[in-house]
């Protein structure tokens, strides 16, 4: 991947800027992508087409794109780019409690303890994002004991079902202690669904096959994780968290970089980065606040800005909003926009945006007033927004090359 400084991606045609006229294409600096982005708008207003256009432009710039697709629509939207579509339980499996592989190194007890802490963090994120509850000190203690008992005697991965069996044994051992059986059973009841049916084929495995390196080596071919094949919302959230943790850990090990290494699009982001009133910080929030210097960019998509964590929106250098009709959502969004003397006009205008039109604000290298733009579909191009020769060339290669 070459240095992308000075390059831009185009999402459509620019119409008017709130502080004056705008002519030509609606663009986002490529360098701004590592500073993250948010896309908001009611269902059916054009968010998915906008994100598909961004993926198309990322391919033009040889930037790997990973889509966490909760609705199962991006495989078709990105079909001209021949995306790699990963389906949980089929060609995508994960192992939530697997030790990180260390080639040629023998793991010490200290190494195992560090890995167990990571596993406990995964359970904590799972509980907080899916069930809005914490892992209690007692539950954490029992989980830690079960995991350490296993890994002190074996380096083979403990599957979810094996962990549940150890928790059942712990419940029996502590049956006479007040509150212990109930507390352990609460953990078992939340982990057990991950061992049966489609979820079992995804999570109850001794290995995982998500390969970030393959994504990095094929930057013009997006990878789509089709979460819609999982029928349970909590399992979609858990899988999203595990993949995000894997990507984040991997890019951090690669070291700091001034370029965008990988860009992750998260559909229905409120499920993995919900806005809350407590001190919980989700995996996407941690990435948004800490991982820019490692070249990891996020795009969070949601129907309502008031549902998404403020840590994510506050750390997003690009904001795109299609039609909103809820005044609370509109006013939450305006807190992040450069619209001081045009606020009243903006609040009226965003309620009346036609499908496919959005306001775009980029905050890099400095904030610019939002521009009204017509977001294009990647193929075929709108007649009033023809594709460039480079775009036509990429599309032609993607369509014509053999599988």
Q: Are residues 40 and 163 in the same domain?
A: no
Q: Are residues 338 and 255 in the same domain?
A: yes
**Residue reference for tokens 């991965």:** 157
Pick the last residue of a domain from 179, 203, 227. 203
What is the structure's pLDDT at 106?
A: 76
Rounded Cα distance, 32 and 322, in Å: 20
What is the structure's pLDDT at 176?
A: 93
How many domains, in total, are found in the chain?
Answer: 2
Show pLDDT as tens, one digit a residue, over the chain (403 residues). Answer: 333 334 889 898 887 776 566 567 889 999 899 899 999 999 999 999 999 999 999 998 999 999 999 999 999 999 999 999 999 999 999 999 998 866 556 788 898 999 999 999 999 999 988 888 999 999 999 999 999 999 998 889 999 999 999 999 999 999 999 999 999 999 999 999 999 999 999 999 999 899 888 889 999 999 999 999 998 899 999 999 999 999 999 999 999 998 899 999 999 999 999 887 677 889 999 999 988 899 999 999 999 999 999 999 999 999 999 999 999 999 999 999 888 767 888 888 899 999 999 999 998 888 888 888 889 766 434 444 455 555 445 444 333 333 3
Domain that holds residue 50: 8-92+219-400
3-state secondary structure the chain: CCCCCCCEEEEEEEEEECCEECCCEEEEEHHHHHHCEEEECCCCCCHHHHHHHHHHHHHHCCCCEEEEECCCCHHHHCHHHCCEEECECCCECCCCCCCCCCCCCCCCHHHHHHHHHHHHHHHHHHHHHHHCCCCCHHHHHHHHHHHHHHHHHCCCCCCHHHHHHHHHHHHHHCCCCCCHHHHHHHHHHHHHHHHCHHHHHHHCCCCCCCCHHHHHHCCCCCEEEEHHHCCCHHHHHHHHHHHHHHHHHHHHHHCCCCCCCEEEEECCHHHCCECCCCCCCCHHHHHHHHCHHHCEEEEEEECCHHHECHHHHHCCCEEEECCCCCHHHHHHHHCCCCCHHHHHHHHHHHHHCCCCEEEEEECCCCCCCCEEEEECCCCCCCCCCCCCHHHHHHHHHHHHCCC
**Residue 209: inside a domain:** no
What is the structure's pLDDT at 338?
A: 84
Q: Are residues 49 and 130 in the same domain?
A: no
**Residue 103: inside a domain:** no
Classify 20 in phi/psi space as left (phi over 0), alpha (psi -120 to 50) or beta. left
What is the structure's pLDDT at 232?
A: 86
Q: Are residues 147 and 273 in the same domain?
A: no
What is the structure's pLDDT at 398?
A: 32
The pTM (predicted TM-score) of the whole model is 0.88
Q: Are residues 182 and 254 in the same domain?
A: no
**Residue 213: inside a domain:** no
Pick the last residue of a domain from 150, 172, 203. 203
What is the structure's pLDDT at 369?
A: 85
Rounded Cα distance, 146 and 4, in Å: 47
């Amino acid at each position: 991947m070459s240095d992308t400084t000075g390059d831009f991606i185009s999402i459509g045609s620019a119409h008017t800027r709130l502080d004056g006229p705008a002519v030509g294409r609606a663009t986002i600096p490529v360098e701004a992508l590592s500073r993250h982005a948010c896309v908001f708008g009611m269902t059916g207003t054009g968010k998915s087409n906008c994100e598909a256009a961004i993926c198309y432009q990322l391919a033009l710039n040889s930037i790997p794109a990973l889509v966490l697709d909760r609705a199962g629509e991006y495989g078709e939207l990105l079909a001209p780019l021949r995306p790699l579509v990963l389906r949980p339980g089929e060609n995508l499996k994960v192992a939530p409690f697997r030790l990180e592989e260390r080639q040629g190194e023998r793991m010490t007890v200290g190494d195992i303890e560090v890995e167990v802490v990571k596993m406990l963090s995964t359970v904590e994120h799972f509980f907080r994002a899916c069930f809005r509850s914490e892992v209690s000190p007692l539950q954490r203690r029992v989980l830690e004991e079960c995991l350490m008992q296993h890994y002190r005697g074996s380096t083979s991965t403990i599957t979810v079902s094996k962990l549940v069996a150890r928790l059942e044994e712990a419940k029996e051992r502590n049956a006479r202690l007040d509150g212990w059986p109930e507390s352990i059973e609460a953990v078992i009841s939340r982990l057990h669904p991950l061992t049966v049916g489609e979820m079992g084929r995804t999570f109850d495995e001794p290995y995982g096959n998500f390969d970030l390196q393959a994504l990095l080596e094929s930057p013009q071919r997006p990878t789509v994780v089709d979460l819609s094949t999982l029928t349970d919302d909590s399992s979609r959230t858990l899988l999203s968290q595990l993949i995000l943790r894997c990507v984040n850990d991997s890019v951090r090990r690669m070291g700091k970089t001034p370029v965008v290494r990988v860009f992750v699009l998260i559909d229905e982001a409120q499920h993995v980065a919900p806005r809350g009133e407590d001190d919980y910080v989700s995996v996407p929030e941690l990435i948004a606040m800490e991982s820019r210097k490692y070249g990891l960019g996020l795009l969070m998509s949601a129907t309502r800005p008031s549902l998404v964590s403020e840590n994510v929106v506050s750390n997003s250098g690009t904001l795109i909003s299609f039609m909103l009709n809820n005044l609370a959502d509109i006013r939450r969004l305006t807190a992040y926009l450069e619209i001081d003397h045009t606020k009243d006009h903006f609040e009226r205008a965003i309620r009346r945006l036609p499908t496919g039109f959005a306001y775009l604000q980029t905050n890099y290298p400095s904030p610019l007033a939002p521009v009204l733009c017509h977001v294009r579909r990647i193929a075929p191009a709108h007649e009033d927004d023809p594709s460039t020769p480079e775009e036509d060339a990429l599309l032609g290669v993607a369509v014509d090359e053999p599988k």
